[in-house]
Amino acid sequence: MPELPEVEVTRRSFADAIAGAVVTAVRRGKPLRWPLGCSPDQLLNKSVQTVGRRGKYLLLALDRGWLLVHLGMSGSLLFASVLPAPGVHDHFDLVTTQGTLRLNDPRRFGAVVFVDNLADPVAVKLLGKLGMEPLSDGFDLALFQQGMKCHGTAVKQVLLAGELVVGVGNIYACESLFLAGIRPTLSAARLSFRRTALLREAIRDVLSRAVEQGGSTLRDFSSADGKPGYFQLQAMVYGRAGLPCRRCQTPIKVIRQGGRSTFYCPVCQKF
């Protein structure tokens, strides 16, 4: 699933190229997770002002209204001046004067939703419960610690939930907990202030490096200009079950938490 680094990399790969573009046509394939929210004709002649991000949502600010784009489980965007005819998994084309933005999504859990403004009930439903942005100045340590103290569940599950901090998906949760030296099964409520501070910095470090590396391409992720990600090549624990820890040489272990695989080092992550 594309997580925050992949979505941010995608945003950066086409935001400047599409800025100022005017919509000339809209093509839809099979239905996506949620309805578009307007007639495709209503998007014609609107111009794209900026492309922002909130959590794993891309926010295309139009001169009148917003398009909220989510990549779902397997989606990716492609932006180019010329694209081939849509394939079976190409479900949305936003054709503009500066190129076509195409959503490819084999599993169709992604979405493109139009709202008049971000106070619209639909936008509030999708964005209103998202946690703090980990790469922004708003990732407050005191609020982070307070939120952790309110949860008796495993710290990794709190990270994945996205209600306290957004975008820390499975690979990045495993890597952040390793960097902070925290066992993923530890109750979030038991984290000391020092450990919470270490985890906050680890999350920021891991996600920043992931963005710099173009995200993680575990299956078929690529940015809107067709480039794969390389962060997975430097992972310390994720996907390395049975292999020696890069720090202490102890074999990396894997367990299941909430239906997801958790990778950790039993020596480097004692607490």
- Nearest residue to 36 (alpha-carbon basis) of 69, 82, 85, 78: 69
Residue 3 bears catalytic tag: yes
Residue 2 bears catalytic tag: yes
CB 221 within 8 A of CB 200: no
Which two three-digit tokens encode residue 137?
Answer: 């100045």
Single out the catalytic residue among 2, 5, 134, 184: 2
DSSP H helices, 49-169, are 121-127, 141-149, 155-161
How many C-beta atoms surround the C-beta of residue 32 within 10 A? 21
Residue 260 bears catalytic tag: yes
Angle between helices 141-149 and 193-212 (to 10 degrees): 120
Residue 102 bears catalytic tag: no
Cα(177)–Cα(57) distance, rounded to whole angstroms? Answer: 24
Single out the catalytic residue among 53, 56, 102, 108: 56
Which two three-digit tokens encode residue 41?
Answer: 């004709």
Tell me the HSE value of 179 on the side-chain side, using a 13 A CA sphere. 23
Single out the catalytic residue among 12, 204, 227, 260: 260
CA-to-CA separations, 170 to 167, 176, 197, 260, 262, in angstroms, rounded:
9, 10, 20, 7, 8
Our measurement of the distance from residue 42's CA atom to the centroid of its chain's CA atoms, rounded to an integer in Å, reads 28
Q: Which residues are catalytic?
A: 2-3, 56, 260
